């Protein structure tokens, strides 16, 4: 099996690309945009203008930016099967953004917005699917805003673990265990508090038996219990 074939198969992991024919897929010129990145390597960095879309085949990455003091502000963390990059199909990100591999090695393939738009022009059904995908992101951002504005740190952490649970859950079981690819500092940045307070409240949630957070894994004994906490 050549690289293009394997890309085709892997891309089809995502429900958006499942609709693509082999020919359309090769028109995306993914091969040239294929990469293997080690831990801590950047996929892109400080690029104001980035006209690519990326598909994370394997591993974990974080998207963020740096403020003028050099502190990182994490926007989101992505795992296998996620799409990132120029989702808006249009330039000037406004802020300089980076995408960095965390925890383990990652495999990413990418294609240009230009190539993608060319296919969308031929496949309006796909354009609609894509819009719905972007729409999902909007809902996620909106509920995050609500969480940050109206809840205290503990409640925000609960929200965050629920979010993670939905992201990582494959089966429908109420218990969930998955590999932990986040440090306290990263959780803090995502939740909007300092590292110290994140540590304090993660431990508090552990005491209450709502989550188990170790360096190696995160275990949520009962998603429904966590959800009832959030009301």
Residues that bind a second copy in the complex, under the rule CB under 8 A: 67-68, 73, 75, 87-90, 93-95, 117, 120-125, 127-128, 130-132, 134-139, 141-146, 148-150, 192, 231
Comparing CB distances to a second copy, the nearer of 150 and 214 is: 150
The answer to whether 178 contacts DNA (rule: CB under 7 A) is no
The answer to whether 203 contacts DNA (rule: CB under 7 A) is yes
How far apart are the C-alpha atoms of 15 and 213, rounded to whole Å? 31
Name which position in 67, 125, 152, 171 contacts DNA (CB under 7 A). 152
Q: Shortest Cβ distance from residue 181 to DNA (Å)?
A: 11
How far apart are the C-alpha atoms of 160 and 145, rounded to whole Å? 12
Burial of 74 (0-12, 13-18, 19+ CB in 10 A): buried
Give CA torsion, residues 121, 124, 127, 132, to 10 deg: 170
How far apart are the C-alpha atoms of 86 and 217, rounded to whole Å? 31
Q: Shortest Cβ distance from residue 29 to DNA (Å)?
A: 34
How far apart are the C-alpha atoms of 9 and 17, rounded to whole Å? 10
The answer to whether 227 contacts DNA (rule: CB under 7 A) is no
The answer to whether 193 contacts DNA (rule: CB under 7 A) is yes
Of the listed pieces 112-120, 134-142, 166-174, 186-194, which binds DNA according to CB under 7 A? 186-194
How far apart are the C-alpha atoms of 148 and 211, rounded to whole Å? 20
Q: Shortest Cβ distance from residue 210 to a second copy (Å)?
A: 21
Angle between helices 124-150 and 153-168 (to 10 degrees): 150
Of the listed pieces 16-24, 107-115, 147-155, 217-225, which binds DNA according to CB under 7 A? 147-155
- DSSP letter at 66 equals E
Of 185, 183, 193, 171, give the one whose Cα is nearest residue 218: 183
Name which position in 143, 194, 224, 228 contacts DNA (CB under 7 A). 194
Residues of this chain that interact with DNA (CB under 7 A) are 152-154, 183-185, 192-197, 199-200, 202-203, 215-216
């Amino acid at each position: 099996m050549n690289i293009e074939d394997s890309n085709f198969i892997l891309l089809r992991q995502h429900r958006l690309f499942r609709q693509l024919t082999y020919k359309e897929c090769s028109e995306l010129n993914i091969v040239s945009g294929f990469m293997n990145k080690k831990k801590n390597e950047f996929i892109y960095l400080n690029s104001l203008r980035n006209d690519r879309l990326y598909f994370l085949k394997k591993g974990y990455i974080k998207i963020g930016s740096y403020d003028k003091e050099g502190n990182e502000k994490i926007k989101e963390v992505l795992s296998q099967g996620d799409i990132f990059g120029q989702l808006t199909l249009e330039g000037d990100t406004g802020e300089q953004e980076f995408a960095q591999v965390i925890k383990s090695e990652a495999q990413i393939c990418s294609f240009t917005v230009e190539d993608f738009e060319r296919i969308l022009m031929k496949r309006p059904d796909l354009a609609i699917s894509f819009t719905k995908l972007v729409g999902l992101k909007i809902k996620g951002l909106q509920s995050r805003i609500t969480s940050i504005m109206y809840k205290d740190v503990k409640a925000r952490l609960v929200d965050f673990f629920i979010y993670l649970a939905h992201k990582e859950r494959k089966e429908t079981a109420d218990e969930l265990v998955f590999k932990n690819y986040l440090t306290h500092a990263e959780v803090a940045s995502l939740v909007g508090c300092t590292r110290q307070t994140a540590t304090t409240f993660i431990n508090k949630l552990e005491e209450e038996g709502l989550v188990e957070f170790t360096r190696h894994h995160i275990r949520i004994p009962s998603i429904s219990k966590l959800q009832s906490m959030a009301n």
